[in-house]
Chain A
Amino acid sequence: MRLLNKKAEIAGEQVMWLWSMFLLLIAAGGLALGVTVFYSQEYDVRAIEAETLNSIITNCLTENEVDFTVPAKFYEACGLEGKVLEDYQKTRIKIGICREGCREGEILFQLGSDFESCDFIGKNKNYPKCVKNKIITDKGDKIEVIVGSNHLSGRIYV
């Protein structure tokens, strides 16, 4: 009987030791995962990028007579690189003449779609960061420029 108790005691100690090691492993794993998730967040410059692009376009429209019929001419007039901007996942641009509080009007230039998501600020971090700006041309037209950026960097592991 005494021998049996001793065996049970040793088995119990072993089980408890394994259990405490398991708990330690779980705690360490959880902490490591949390730290990894925290530091894997990208440095977000989408709002700044949208602001910069919007100001370049509005300045360009104010200073130049821009031909919107051919996108390449618009890019050239405003000093923009078309092949970078035409990655629709990253950038979207909409330039239109504003009528009826910008609810109606003619679209002069559009790159990309889903400008509705620009209105859902703070709802989902995956939505693009957008900047809207309005200018009045010499002809008296009110032009609205909407720029959205969802530009994230590409990390390459070799």
Chain B
Amino acid sequence: MRLNREGVIGNLPDVVITIILIVLFAAFLFVFIGQQRNGAGVWEDTYAKEIAQVINLAEAGDEIAIDVHYATEIAKKNRVGDLRSIVRFDNENNEVVVKLRPRGETRFSYFKDVEIVNDRIELGVPTNVLKFRVMGPEKGGEDEAAE
């Protein structure tokens, strides 16, 4: 009888360790799947491509406003410093650059020969909105010269 009690007490640490490990595994999986679901990479890709498609369909002179509220939420969650710079336009390479994580960004090119000017993210109007103007290459140059 004494031997049995020792046996039970002797096994107790093993059982506790096993339970702790199972809980740790489960927690890791929940966190990992959650991170993947709200993954910045997926949303960077989506926003970059959608914005590029909008530019491809735009005409010179168009003023465009896109709701980027969810993107700013993801960027804030990932501790990206400046929420106003999560979407940039590389006019040199005709690329939309979206950055929703501290390390890395996603680029997607648009084939329309236009320049994006006056791009800014307006926060809290009431949602966060990306606004920019599409200009023909020559007009963009004139516009900049005028400014």
Contacts and interface: CB of A to CB of B under 8 A. Distances in A.
B124 interface: no
Query: By DSSP majority rule, is chain B's interface helix, strand, loop, or mixed?
Result: helix
Contacts of A90: 109
Interface string A62-93: 00000000000001100111011100001100
A91 B111 CA distance: 10
B39 A39 contact: yes
Interface in B91-141: 93-94, 103-114, 136
B63 interface: no
B94 A157 contact: no
Pick the most buried of A39, A53, A85: most chain B CB atoms within 10 A of its CB.
Answer: A39
A32 interface: yes
Contacts, number: 98
A81 B113 contact: yes
Contacts of A38: 36
A49 B21 contact: no
Interface stretch (A40-48, A97-105, A124-132, A137-145): A40-48
Pick the most buried of A13, A90, A151, A153: most chain B CB atoms within 10 A of its CB.
Answer: A153
Nearest to B104: A157
B53 A45 contact: yes
Contacts of A32: 29, 32
A28 B25 contact: yes
Pick the most buried of A20, A43, A52: most chain B CB atoms within 10 A of its CB.
Answer: A43
Interface string B19-30: 001100100110
Nearest to A20: B18
B36 A21 contact: no
Contact of B103 (A79, A83, A85, A158): A158
A43 B46 contact: yes
Nearest to A39: B36
B44 A155 contact: yes
A155 B46 contact: no
A154 interface: yes
Nearest to B37: A39
A155 B113 contact: no
A119 to B, nearest CB: 23
A28 B28 contact: yes
A56 to B, nearest CB: 8
Given A84-B111, A153-B108, A28 B103 contact: no
Given A43-B46, A49-B56, A85 B29 contact: no
A13 B17 CA distance: 14
Interface of B: 11, 14, 18, 21-22, 25, 28-29, 32-33, 36-37, 39, 41-42, 44-46, 48-50, 52-53, 56-57, 60, 93-94, 103-114, 136
7 contacts: A32-B29, A45-B49, A53-B111, A79-B60, A81-B110, A81-B112, A155-B106
